[in-house]
A = this chain, B = another copy of it.
């Protein structure tokens, strides 16, 4: 329940540039997904990127699988009359050796005719980000875990 150690806790230093570019990447990236622009969204992963989730039996590996999975979801939601809005928050950044780790909360809101806007799920999202060579980021590995009761 509580730490055994009381060693000083160090919040990893991030430069203002790193912070801004990560936030900007996520904002544009999530809006692409919620707008149904799945091919643009998939380009936010590396060519060999991995999207894993504890709710999915197999991770999607590579952009092709990532596009295929997201396209199926977008088609299903459209059939069911559901829009989604993915919010990332409390983005805790840990710079590493050539990569950046970002652990965030992600809440998925959904909008339907019957219920209006409501919370669909609360998840924790762990990303490994690498530079895209143009000042922004690509996701090399994403793991999304459903938040569960304690």
Contact = CB atoms under 8 A, between A and B. Distances in A.
Given A90-B30, A117-B107, A83 B3 contact: no
A2 B39 contact: yes
Contact of A83 (B28, B74, B149): B149
A6 B120 CA distance: 30
Interface centre among A36, A90, A134 (most CB of B within 10 A): A90
A139 to B, nearest CB: 12
Contact of A112 (B80, B88, B121, B149): B149
B117 A147 contact: yes
A39 B60 CA distance: 37
B113 A149 contact: yes
Contacts of A38: 1-3
Contact of A122 (B2, B26, B109): B109
B83 A27 contact: no
Contact of A93 (B24, B105, B122): B24
A55 interface: no
Contact of A20 (B14, B28, B37, B86): B14
Q: Which 9 A-B pairs have the closest CB atoms?
A: A16-B16, A19-B20, A117-B122, A3-B39, A27-B92, A11-B136, A81-B149, A16-B20, A27-B90
